[in-house]
Amino acid sequence: MNSLAFTLEPTPPFRLDLTVWALRRRPHNRIDRWDGRVYRRALTLNGQPAAVSVIQNGPPDAPQLQVTASGAALTAEDAPAAAQTLAYTLDIHRDLSDFYALAASDPQLGPLAARFRGMKPPRYPTLYECLVNAITCQQVTLALGLTLVNRLAISYGPAVTAENDDPLLVLPRPEALIPIPAETWRIMQFSRQKARALTGLSAAVVSGELDLEALAGEDGETVQSRLRQLWGVGRWTAEYALLRGLGRLEIFPGDDSGAVGGLQRWLGLTEKLDYAGAQAVLRRWQPYAGLVYFHLLLNGLAREGAI
């Protein structure tokens, strides 16, 4: 087993715990691990999975991340790729000064932003992983959606054994999803619609019909239009991909019932918000509606006692 170590210096303020919770969302997420001190997950480096651990040293205003990585095929040349992927996933270099200035002058947003100060808006390492998560979580509870994601990784993703022999899970590559039989999808409790959407996405990626990396440089409307050409991808999935896959902070997925419900409770509204209503109340905090989304997610986790 080969290993390497390096440090990262996030733009302050930064809190690893809050950022990881915004990424993992629920305690039973087995891909993104958090034990109260160490963030662990597997990353694909040079085509091979490697186990990565991250610890924060220093307070939020002077943060430093200590990273270790291990893998059978790992070499020193993989350090830049590991650093780049982690920096992207945890969004450590995002400067949120303008957001905090906006929040400081707002009597509603100010206390929420202060409570979770240091959270950076995380992203999935790849847009493909983001879309697999989004499709899997469509029209089910988040708890069930993450259970299905875990099953998919356990059944078809390469597990990475870390130093403590606790395997880290990796989502399958696109080519691994395409031949999964219908009966196997059923046994894993994926609906026919989810199975069709996931295999269609994977086939489009493998064939080259869909270039997900190229979408990173496109505007939001173009990204949504291209993704919604895929079977089973609607407005919620496309907006989810923009926010959690590409880091577009102006996006608040307005079809997310849990997120909109959290927004409604936070604002103390008695009438249920629809998509248009949610976008209307969020307009005052643009271009940071997506940051409101993440802060409300943490607010819900805190209310449930998870953090």
Last residue of a domain, one of 43, 68, 92: 92
Whether residue 14 is contained in a domain is answered as yes
Share of the chain above pLDDT 70, in %: 99
pLDDT of residue 76: 84
Question: What pLDDT, in 10s, does the model give residues 148-203?
Answer: 999 999 999 987 876 666 789 999 999 999 999 999 999 999 999 999 999 999 99
> What's the pLDDT score for residue 154?
94
- Answer yes or no: do 26 and 66 share one domain: yes
Domain identity same for 293 and 272: yes
In a domain, 251, yes or no: no
- For residues 209 and 153, is the Cβ–Cβ distance under 8 A? no
Residue 125 confidence (pLDDT) above 90: yes
For the domain that residue 55 is a member of, what is the CATH number? 3.30.310.20
Q: Are 140 and 192 in a shared domain?
A: yes
User: Per residue in 190-232, pLDDT tens?
Assistant: 999 999 999 999 999 999 999 999 999 999 999 999 999 999 9
DSSP 8-state symbol, 124: -
The confidence score (pLDDT) of residue 2 equals: 85
What is residue 163's predicted lDDT score, i.e. its pLDDT? 61
Domain annotation covers residue 117: no
The reply to whether 228 and 171 lie within a common domain is yes
Q: What is the pLDDT of residue 235?
A: 97
In a domain, 102, yes or no: no
Instruction: Clarify whether residues 239 and 281 are in a common domain.
Output: no
Does residue 141 form part of some domain? yes
Q: Are residues 151 and 184 in the same domain?
A: yes
Q: How many domains does the chain have?
A: 3
> Are 267 and 231 in a shared domain?
no
User: Would residue 12 count as lying in a domain?
Assistant: yes
Q: Alpha-carbon distance 207 to 59, whole Å?
A: 46
Predicted confidence at residue 6, as pLDDT, reads 96
End-to-end CA, the chain: 34
Does residue 137 surpass a pLDDT of 90?
Answer: yes
What global pTM score does this model have? 0.95
Residue 165: the pLDDT is 63
Residue 137's CB: how many other CB atoms inside 10 A?
22
- List Cβ neighbours of 93 (8 Å cut-off, separation of 6 or more): 10, 11, 87
In a domain, 160, yes or no: yes
pLDDT the model gives residue 162: 67
**8 Å CB contact between 177 and 156:** yes
Q: Which of 224, 245, 266 corresponds to the end of one domain?
A: 245
62 contact partners, CB below 8 Å, separation of at least 6: 12
Taking residues 24-49, report their average pLDDT. 92
Q: Which domain holds residue 296?
A: 257-303
The domain boundary, picked from 211, 245, 279, lies at 245
Q: Are residues 287 and 181 in the same domain?
A: no
Is the confidence at residue 48, as pLDDT, over 90?
no
Query: Rounded mean pLDDT of the chain?
Result: 95
pLDDT over 90 (residue 49): no
Helical spans, DSSP H, in the chain: 16-24, 79-89, 97-104, 109-115, 127-136, 142-156, 174-177, 182-187, 192-207, 212-215, 220-227, 235-240, 257-267, 275-282, 289-303
Residue 134 sits in the same domain as residue 221: yes
| φ, ψ for residue 67, nearest 5 deg | -115, 135
Is 270 a residue whose pLDDT tops 80?
yes
288-306 average pLDDT score: 96
Per-residue model confidence (pLDDT) at position 164: 63
| Same domain (yes/no): 39, 14 | yes
12 vs 45 pLDDT, higher one = 12
Residue 163 and residue 271 in one domain: no
Give yes or no: residues 8 and 83 share one domain.
yes
The pLDDT value given to residue 256: 93
Neighbours of 5 (CB within 10 A): 11
Residues 64-123: tens digit of each pLDDT:
999 999 888 888 888 999 999 999 999 999 999 999 999 999 999 999 999 999 999 999
CATH code (residue 228): 1.10.340.30
Q: What angle do CA 283, 125, 246 make, to 5 degrees?
A: 25
